């Protein structure tokens, strides 16, 4: 049995294999989904007219344990409120890069290895199918940590995803020394050990999880990659000088990665829209990126 709560109403027991053939029409719900990592909280805004397509939205490195930042730091719920697309917000997974780790992190006492690729491409879609959500007519986008992950998951699971988008993603993690930059970031956010994720930089797992290296697998899939150029704007003011300087430095890295991705896609003849805009590594810019991506997502899912 799985506990599901709708809004502020009382919890209701729902069978995992509930024989529901059509998704609920509209509304927001929080589900607890079984996984090899234990129950995972997933926030859902159901398609407005009970349609079967879905958009998965992945968080950044500091993903909170109790909610998706897409639901609190952007207007994603409002943007898609009238659309016949279910929004799927996995909760948690900070410093996970939404991938299957080799083993639990040895530097912070983690008990169970992250298995986010397995969750997002098997366990979660199988669970949502019980609510009438398609296993195959999905889109996926992610911000920061989630950006590269969204493209990589789509590359390796073309049967599931019809669109993929990266917003300020580190889409070229095999770039020289970027594994060490990730090591520092992951130590700072939860004391996670990058070697327990993909092994040393020479390990094939790094190439497998590099969106730029996987461009051939993305051929023919609608893609949207966007990043800021590191120049702050009015959207940065509420975050303060310290946060803005950090956001500028992070975006200076993602703009390099986006340029490499664009040039590699052009060389291979793989179609991808790559936008470099004014802005930093901050949620208001990812909200705008989602606004830009929304028509592409709806077209790819056939819901317009």
281 is catalytic: yes
Spatial separation of the C-alpha atoms in residues 44 and 63, rounded to whole Å? 16
Strand-pair partners of 44 = 29, 88
DSSP state of 219: T
Scanning 74-198, the segments in alpha helix (DSSP H) are: 76-79, 116-118, 124-129, 145-156, 178-188, 194-198
Query: Pick from 190, 179, 175: which is nearest to 60 by CA?
Result: 190
Query: Pick from 143, 138, 123, 165: which is nearest to 61 by CA?
Result: 143
Cβ 227 vs Cβ 167: under 8 Å: yes
C-alpha 51, offset from chain centre: 22
**Which residue in the list 29, 30, 123, 251 is annotated as catalytic?**
251
Q: E strands, 180-251, where? A: 223-228
144 is catalytic: yes
CB atoms near residue 228 (< 10 Å): 31
Query: For residue 19, with 0-12 CB atoms within 10 Å meaning exposed, 13-18 middle and 19 or more buried, which class applies?
Result: exposed
First to last CA, the chain: 35
Computed on alpha carbons and rounded to an integer, the radius of gyration of the chain in Å comes to 18
Q: Find tokens 């291979």 and name the residue.
A: 268
Spatial separation of the C-alpha atoms in residues 247 and 237, rounded to whole Å? 12
**Which residue in the list 105, 144, 166, 168 is annotated as catalytic?**
144
Q: Residues with catalytic annotation?
A: 144, 251, 281
């Amino acid at each position: 049995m799985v506990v599901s709560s709708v809004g502020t109403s009382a919890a209701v027991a729902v069978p995992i294999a509930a024989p529901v053939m059509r998704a609920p029409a509209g509304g927001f719900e929080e589900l607890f989904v079984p996984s090899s990592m234990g129950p995972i909280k997933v926030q859902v805004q159901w398609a407005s007219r009970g349609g079967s397509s879905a958009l998965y939205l992945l968080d950044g490195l500091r993903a909170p344990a109790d909610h998706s930042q897409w639901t609190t730091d952007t207007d994603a719920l409002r943007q898609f409120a009238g659309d016949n697309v279910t929004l799927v917000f996995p909760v948690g997974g900070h410093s996970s890069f939404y991938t299957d780790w080799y083993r639990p992190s040895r530097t912070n006492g983690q008990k169970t290895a992250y298995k986010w690729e397995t969750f997002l491409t098997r366990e979660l879609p199988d669970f949502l199918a019980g609510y009438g959500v398609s296993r195959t007519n999905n889109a996926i986008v992610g911000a920061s940590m989630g950006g590269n992950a969204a493209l990589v998951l789509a590359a390796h699971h073309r049967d599931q995803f019809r669109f993929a988008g990266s917003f300020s993603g580190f889409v070229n993690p095999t770039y020289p020394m970027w594994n060490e930059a990730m090591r520092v970031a992951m130590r700072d956010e939860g004391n996670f050990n990058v070697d327990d994720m993909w092994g040393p930089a020479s390990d094939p797992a790094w190439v497998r999880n590099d969106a730029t290296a996987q461009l051939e697998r993305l051929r023919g899939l609608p893609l949207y990659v966007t990043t800021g150029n590191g120049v702050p704007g009015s959207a940065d003011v509420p975050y303060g000088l310290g946060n803005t300087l950090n956001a500028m430095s992070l975006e200076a890295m993602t703009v390099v990665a986006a340029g490499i991705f664009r040039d590699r896609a052009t060389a291979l003849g793989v179609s991808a829209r790559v936008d470099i805009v004014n802005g930093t590594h901050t949620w208001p810019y990812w909200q705008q990126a989602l606004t830009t991506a929304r028509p592409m997502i709806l077209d790819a899912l056939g819901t317009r």
